[in-house]
A and B are shown apart, each in its own frame.
Chain A
Amino acid sequence: MLQTKRMINVATDVQSEGGLAFHPLDQFIVKPLFGDGPVGMFTVTNATLWMAIAILTIIAVFVLGSKGRAIVPTRVQSVAELMYSFVYKMVEDVTGKDGVKYFPYIMTLFVFILFANYLALLPMSFSTTSHIGVTAILGFGVFFAITALGFILHGASFLGLFWMKDAPLFLRPIIAVIEVISYFVRPVSHSIRLAGNILAGHAVLKVFATFAAVTLVSPLSVLGVVAIYGLEVIVAGIQAYVFTILTCVYLKDALHPAH
């Protein structure tokens, strides 16, 4: 909220100085959809709108598109089946048979991030996953769920995750400290990785777009935008994949804490 205000200030400052045609971070400003009031917890903003569109698209593909449950799938159904079996195989490969129970949660994460990333690539759309507020909820949700799951399944012996039995005895306390730190940094890096990648990609896209205002380099700018856009299409898919597979890796640690 405060940050958004600050970004608006910065954006207007830059415009008045007359550097770039528009500020590359203007696209991330959270605005209320109706009126110009302050953004509170329950204000309907453009972020809300695009998350809702992502969820409606998911419902269209996975519920309405696959309603026929045909043996020979229609086009939409086969897309849904491809994604389903892709994530299912990933969970099974990384966590093993006993991790399959938690497949619905991981599938939800994957599909939401994938659709949000791809919808953000539409012109004039809003990239919800570029906001740390959105990805932190996803990342910390995974962190708390998996920590709770580890303690529920293994009790106090879950702490064995931090106590390396293979290491020499005098090194074990030092390794334990490092392991604890790296465990608590996980949700931070998990969420910042996704938000940072999307934010950086979209900002670069807009920076190249501002160069189009300069007549001399505008053909190059258009080529640059096309090339970066192609890269962003790949990054959107890869980041959804990376977020999901890291969730699987963390889940594996919770299911089998002994190394």
Chain B
Amino acid sequence: MEGELAHIGAGLAAIGSGIAAVGVGNVASNYLAGALRNPSAAASQTATLFIGLAFAEALGIFAFLVALLLMFAV
């Protein structure tokens, strides 16, 4: 029973990865919207874009990690 609950928990943790995808999409879409309005400033902001993507994505990876821990460590 406990193992099955862990599997359900792992599935729920996968939702977190999906929500992180919303965050990553949000960062990229706002960057693209800004870049199309002012293309000359776009190149200087790619570093900021990647930092933002990395922070958004890290939280999704944490959710994935929780899923892995539930599957293999609990």
Chain A residues engaging chain B, CB cutoff 8 angstroms: 3, 6-7, 10, 25, 90, 93-94, 189, 192-193, 196-197, 200, 238, 241-242, 245-246, 249
What are 21 residue pairs bridging A and B, where the CB atoms are less than 8 Å apart in the complex? Answer: A3-B72, A7-B72, A10-B72, A25-B72, A90-B47, A94-B47, A189-B58, A192-B58, A192-B61, A193-B54, A193-B58, A196-B61, A196-B64, A197-B61, A238-B50, A242-B50, A242-B51, A242-B53, A242-B54, A245-B50, A246-B51
| 0/1 interface trace, chain B 35-74, chain A, CB 8 Å (1 if under) | 0000000000001001101100110011011000001110
B54 and A246 form a contact (CB under 8 A): yes
List the 5 closest pairs (A to B, CB-CB), nearest first.
A196-B61, A242-B54, A193-B58, A189-B58, A10-B72
Question: A-B contact count, CB below 8 Å?
Answer: 42
Contacts of A197 in B (CB 8 A): 57, 61
A192 and B57 form a contact (CB under 8 A): no
Which chain A residue lies CB-closest to B65? A196
B72 and A192 form a contact (CB under 8 A): no
Contacts of A6 in B (CB 8 A): 72-73
A193 and B51 form a contact (CB under 8 A): no
Q: How close is A160's CB to chain B, nearest CB, in angstroms?
A: 23
Given contacts A3-B72, A200-B64, A246-B51, 14 further A-B contacts (CB under 8 A): A6-B73, A10-B71, A90-B47, A94-B47, A189-B62, A192-B61, A193-B57, A193-B58, A196-B61, A197-B57, A238-B50, A241-B50, A242-B51, A245-B47
Contacts of B47 in A (CB 8 A): 90, 93-94, 245
Q: Which positions 6-52 of chain B face chain A at CB distance < 8 Å?
A: 47, 50-51
CA distance A251 to B50 in the complex (A): 17
Q: How close is B28's CB to chain A, nearest CB, in angstroms?
A: 12
Contacts of A249 in B (CB 8 A): 51
CA distance A178 to B50 in the complex (A): 23
Which chain B residue lies CB-closest to A245? B47
Contacts of A238 in B (CB 8 A): 50
